Amino acid sequence: MKFIYTLLAALLVSTAIAQPSKKTTPKATPLDRSIVPQPGPAPKIQIGKATSFTLENGMKVIVVENHKLPNVTYSLSLNLTPIAEGNKAGYISIAGDLLSAGTTTKTKGQIDEAIDFIGGQLSTSASSVSGSCLSKHSETLLALMQDILLHPSFPEEELEKTRKQMISGLTSEKTDPNAVSDKIGNMVRYGARHPYGEFATENTLNNIKREDLMGYYQTYFSPLVATLVVVGDVTPEQALASAKKYFGEWTGNAVPVRTYPAPAELKGNQVAFVAMPGAVQSVIDVTYAMPLNITSADYLAATVLNNILGGSGFQTRLMQNLREDKAYTYGAYSSMSPDDVIGNFSAGASVRNDVSDSAIVQLLFEMDRLCTEAVSAETLKSAKSIMSGAFARRLENAGTVAQFAYNISKYNLPADYYETYLERLNAITTEDVQAAAKKYLKANNCYISVVGNKDILEKLKQFSKREVMQFNTDGSVSKGIIPPAAGVTAATVVEAYYAANGGKDKFKKVKSIKQEGKMSVMGTSINMETLTLDNKMLRVEMSMGPIKVSTQIFDGTNLVVKSMGKDAPVEASDILKAKMEADFFVRDHMADFGHSINLAGSIMRNEKEVYILETLDEKKKVVKTEYFDKASGQLVSTLESKETEQGPMTSETNIKEFMTVDGMTFPKSIQLNAGGQVLDIVMEKITINGKVSKKAFKVD
């Protein structure tokens, strides 16, 4: 059945004027303000030194002293090449998370308690173990890190818990256009079989076993590829002694080094489209893989280029064009991400549906303009100033020195690589920037990923040299919407739905339906009761024990919503929705509500072919999209979008399981994803035509 849900740089110049001697008063020379002062030479930055050691087992140790505060941070990182996970995509991430979920001597609870007791922090990933605490507690922290690093147990129960959370997260991602855009962008620019292009699905997560996690740990966790960075209130001598004590006995084998072919370069632009029903905005991403590494000779010039195009701030080309001039978006950005294997370029924005094509034109225009027109001296100066300031701010963080030392070691950079940063930045010319643009900006050979309303698909075809690639919100390939077969209409889909639920005649005899169940929200269980009467009255109550969390009462005319006992505001649209939710036969009465229904066709969704039934308002705008299983006739999923103060939000309802009562079928297990929060609802009892008083629907 149906439910109501209340979803819930300014540049400062100082001029020192020398005072003339009292004995002489020379005549002042007028200042020619039309002449721009020439900048002095860039200073060579003095960066604190890091001390480095290598233990007998091959592990490197980098120490940065900082005695300003009695804190110390230990970060152990593994230098690994990416790994393709195939039909078990997600297992490496899980292995990293579960490193700290238990050891052969301690449970997760005991580890968490020990860290809390010293007021420290501890985290793990697929390639790191890090922790911080007061320096007086460093021995305790290091002992915990040692236990986690050398004796992980990967508990089965923690695996199941993490698996469930990740599957729930996948459900949430399907209604987040930015998350969908990220997934599709990775897949098209790298390829689905590349480690950077593959992604976890419910099936791949269900394939993961504890042995996979242990196998990853045993193969890739080795001191031969490990670097321990120590920053804080500690001397090099102390850090070396601790490293030997806690990690000196760690042993491991040589770690496999994997290589992957570079993604094929596009010849002509290719559009990748994901239809997001009800979307009021399009998320656009112009992207492709590119061979950029921190060791690339033109890496710094490329970074300057990106800061001019769309790196950050209101002064960038993309922001000035798409936001300030065209008012297409709140923000437009670009990135050039270096990587040891293969880097990537990305530029995009979230724009209104009706300007999606125009926004793409401007994105490509600004990329191409940087290739054909040299930037002005003033533009280059501004970008350098911003980057210099950002670099200076980074130096305020003691950890930055450690990161610099790590990069110098990992990439075999010159010892003064960072000390000469400002000199090298100052030497970048407009010619360097244009050369980088011609090399790295590919306005005519890029992927154009768009996540938005299906109505914009036709406008996007002009940008694609080939047939538009279409994907579903879960990242699977879509054949697009299939037109309905002859004789299949919205009416026939609705009739099949009634038949699948026991038949319209049976429901015509129903006066009241009471549904009782529980809703799980982030581990909290909430009792839920829904009551309908005469197909026009509705009451939804949620409680936690004796506490009423929310109550919604609709008497057929008036609607009252209470949250924690207080009245919540009700709008006309809420009353209209209540009327429609209370009417089981609402699809037959759409005209009464100023709405209509449209059969858009069918599509593959969650491995089933489903009919797409759209609810249109009086302006013919899609306000709800329902998916009916073609084989069974059942309603299996619903999507609704609405504008909120935080921007557009899409909620998705998926019916996982059904139950039969008196020959009629009702949803039993329901999953609601709204605003990134996943709610699981299980109906435990349904009573048909039981004793129901109209007093239950009295609106005070």
Residue 18: pLDDT band (50, 70, 90) is very low
Report yes or no: 140 and 112 within 8 Å, Cβ to Cβ. Answer: no
With a cut of 50, say whether residue 15 has pLDDT above it.
no
| Shared fold status for 51-247 and 490-697 | no
How many angstroms separate the CA atoms of 83 and 416, rounded? Answer: 33
Domain 51-247 CATH (choose: 3.20.20.70, 3.40.50.150, 3.30.830.10, 3.40.980.10): 3.30.830.10
Q: Does domain 270-471 bear CATH number 3.30.830.10?
A: yes
SS3 544: strand
Say what the pLDDT of residue 676 is.
67
Neighbouring residues of 639: CB distance < 8 A, sequence distance ≥ 6: 175, 277, 278, 624, 625, 626, 627, 650, 651, 652, 653
Taking only the tens place, the pLDDT of each residue in 403-462 is 888 999 899 999 899 999 999 999 999 999 999 999 999 999 999 999 998 889 999 999
Q: Based on the number of CB atoms within 10 Å of its own CB, is 109 exposed (0-12), middle (13-18) or buried (19 or more)?
A: exposed
Whole-number average pLDDT of the chain: 89
CATH class of 490-697: mainly beta
How many angstroms separate the CA atoms of 205 and 123, rounded? Answer: 22
C-alpha 155, offset from chain centre: 28
**Token reading at 478:** 């879509």
Q: Could you give the angle at the alpha carbon of 590 between the alpha carbons of 694 and 487, nearest 5°?
A: 130
Taking only the tens place, the pLDDT of each residue in 545-560 is 888 889 999 998 999 9
Virtual torsion, Cα 680, 684, 687, 692, nearest 10 deg: -70
Taking only the tens place, the pLDDT of each residue in 244-273 is 999 999 999 999 999 998 898 899 999 999
How many angstroms separate the CA atoms of 527 and 543, rounded? Answer: 5
**Token reading at 33:** 């303000």
C-alpha 294, offset from chain centre: 25
Say what the pLDDT of residue 9 is.
26
Question: Among 176, 369, 181, 371, which Cα is nearest to 286's?
Answer: 181
Taking only the tens place, the pLDDT of each residue in 514-538 is 999 999 877 788 999 999 999 899 9
How many angstroms separate the CA atoms of 555 and 541, rounded? Answer: 14
Q: Give the residue extent of every domain in the chain.
A: 51-247, 270-471, 490-697
Say what the pLDDT of residue 539 is.
92
Ranking 238-252, 368-382, 509-523 by mean pLDDT, the lowest is 509-523
Question: Among 149, 127, 124, which Cα is nearest to 83's?
Answer: 127
**Alpha-carbon distance values, 153 to 107, 130, 206, 496 (Å):** 9, 18, 20, 52
SS3 236: helix
The phi and psi torsions of 258 (rounded to 5 degrees) equal -110, 145
Q: What is the pTM of this model?
A: 0.79
With a cut of 70, say whether residue 336 has pLDDT above it.
yes
Say what the pLDDT of residue 112 is.
95
**More confidently predicted of 73 and 168:** 73
Taking only the tens place, the pLDDT of each residue in 668-679 is 999 888 766 788
**Alpha-carbon distance values, 317 to 95, 235, 236, 431, 448 (Å):** 42, 47, 47, 18, 19
**Token reading at 686:** 């349904």
With a cut of 90, say whether residue 94 has pLDDT above it.
yes
Helices 356-372 + 430-440 axis angle, to 10: 130
**Alpha-carbon distance values, 137 to 102, 130, 154, 459, 657 (Å):** 21, 15, 26, 62, 52
Residue 41: pLDDT band (50, 70, 90) is low
**Alpha-carbon distance values, 638 to 611, 665, 679 (Å):** 12, 17, 14
Stretch 379-383: mean pLDDT: 95
Taking only the tens place, the pLDDT of each residue in 600-654 is 999 888 778 999 999 998 888 888 899 999 999 999 999 887 766 666 677 889 8
Question: Among 140, 189, 168, 9, which Cα is nearest to 678's?
Answer: 168
The phi and psi torsions of 658 (rounded to 5 degrees) equal -120, 160
How many angstroms separate the CA atoms of 86 and 94, rounded? Answer: 15
How many angstroms separate the CA atoms of 660 and 666, rounded? Answer: 6
How many angstroms separate the CA atoms of 699 and 559, rounded? Answer: 7
The phi and psi torsions of 471 (rounded to 5 degrees) equal -130, 155
How many angstroms separate the CA atoms of 434 and 431, rounded? Answer: 5
Say what the pLDDT of residue 17 is.
25
Q: Could you give the angle at the alpha carbon of 359 between the alpha carbons of 357 and 361, nearest 5°?
A: 75
**Alpha-carbon distance values, 328 to 356, 370, 597 (Å):** 9, 21, 31
